[in-house]
Amino acid sequence: MSFPEKSYSTIATFYDAYAEQIAAAMASVPRSSLAAAEILLGEAIAADAHVYACGNGGSAAISNHLVCDHLKGIRTDTTLRPRVHSLSATIEMITAIANDLDYAEVFSYQLQSLARPGDVLITISSSGESENVVRALQWARDNGLRTIALTGFAGGRAARLAEVGLHVDADNYGVIEDVHQSLMHVLAQFIRLSHMPRDLVAARKF
């Protein structure tokens, strides 16, 4: 059954049930995949490669937020200088491509001009079936980019195309997006603290 499978009499009881769903969804993420994503991003930053993120709707917001945490956040107290961009933040480009070509091409078209082999694409799609995300992953795969896909539900084509899949075993959009946001934070904070002077870790706010 999907969540919620029934009505709740109070918001407090719904909150408790939602919190249980979040905990189960967080626990479902394969730790080996999380480690692979951290290694991939670390290698890209060390190689001075560019990292691109994209998604639609709430996933677009996570993509945009990722730029802040993976650029400014990782730079703080480290010598790292990540190059991070959101393909979901370029509203002028998105609307021009969608209007003149096809909404399904809004991310892949940008990659064709910006990305180079060795760069990284991070896609965020709860269903894993957003056509513009799938096309971006396929183009990245065909052109030498490394890829990470954050997915939920059944994973969709995105989970099958990506080099590294961070799959959340849940069937509620809010729960999946909450965990995707947490995964974005976990990756950024772990990379940051791994490159900080040890005596600063406890002294800093994360």
Residue 97 · residue 72 · CB < 8 Å: no
Q: What is the average pLDDT across 15-41?
A: 98
Which of the four pLDDT bands, split at 50, 70 and 90, describes residue 154? very high
Q: Give the tens place of pLDDT for each residue, 44-94.
A: 999 999 999 999 999 999 999 999 999 999 999 999 999 999 999 999 999
pLDDT at 191: 98
Dihedral through CA 63, CA 191, CA 73, CA 62, nearest 10? 10
Question: Per residue, what are the HEC states of 5-53?
Answer: CCCCCCHHHHHHHHHHHHHHHHHHCCHHHHHHHHHHHHHHHHCCCEEEE
- The pLDDT of residue 107 is 99
Q: pLDDT-based confidence at 178, cuts 50/70/90?
A: very high
Instruction: Decide if 170 contacts 179 (C-beta within 8 A).
Output: yes
- Condensed to tens digits (0 to 9), the pLDDT of residues 89-133 reads 999 999 999 999 999 999 999 999 999 999 999 999 999 999 999
Residue-level pLDDT at 160: 97
* Amino acid 42: pLDDT: 97
Amino acid, res. 129: E
Instruction: Measure the N-to-C terminal CA separation of the chain; round to a whole number of Å.
Output: 37
CA distance 90 to 112: 15
The mean pLDDT value for 173-183 works out to 98
Answer whether residue 1 shows pLDDT above 90. no
- The topology (CATH level 3) of 30-201 is Rossmann fold (3.40.50)
What's the mean pLDDT in 139-153? Answer: 98
The predicted pLDDT at position 146 comes to 98
Mean pLDDT (the chain, rounded): 97
